[in-house]
Amino acid sequence: MCGNNMSAPLPAIVPAAKKATAAVIFLHGLGDTGHGWAEAFAGIRSPHVKYICPHAPVMPVTLNMNMAMPSWFDIIGLSPDAQEDEAGIKQAAENVKSLVEQEVRNGIPSHRIILGGFSQGGALALYTALTTQQKLAGVLALSCWLPLRTTLPQGSINCVNKDIPILQCHGDCDPLVPLMFGSLTSERLKTMLNPANITFKTYSSMMHSSCIEEMTDAKQFIDKHLPPVD
């Protein structure tokens, strides 16, 4: 598979068991594909919700000695002050907005769509929600951080998603994206958005991965913010 965006295969999809009136778009982490997350969501699915797990394009990643792997944007380093791929992140956010648009054309309004992701995918989901003109139902941000935070406004932002519910989850033993990054991200989000709608949950002994309790919390969050409409 060559490295341009056109080569990324079609998303892994868990279709709704009945008419889809809501959707979850979930972005995987660096070097992964959407398949594992589609399986995870199949295990906690709600019958009226469609789960869309796209696959990132393959590109060289600076952090991994320029090895080519699925990645939403380039990662140069993992420290909080590391240089960031601003153009790549902004382009990736446009691609996510296009996925939302596609579902709107399919008949699911954007306010019935939750955007989510793990690690690099969660970072992209947060950035997209803060910069889009599309009103979303919520963000599910797992083991991640807020990218390009110096380019975002200080203080509260007057965007369409200023009251968006966010569930941020993080393992307290994460060696790749330390818990401190997650808690700093949560504090920063509370200064920008309605702090009452931001929840930060930690999971004992969890590393850079997921666990049953986290998926149970994810299901509760999805069911709360995407209830059946019929």
Q: Mind telling me the catalytic residues?
A: 119, 174, 208
Contacts of 102 (CB under 8 A, 6+ apart): none
**What are the phi and psi torsion angles at 22 (to 5°)?**
-155, 160
Rounded-to-integer distance, Cα 82 and Cα 99, Å: 29
Total Cβ atoms within 10 A of residue 168: 24
Tokens 């972005």 sit on residue: 27
Rounded-to-integer distance, Cα 220 and Cα 111, Å: 18
Structural Rg of the chain based on CA atoms: 16
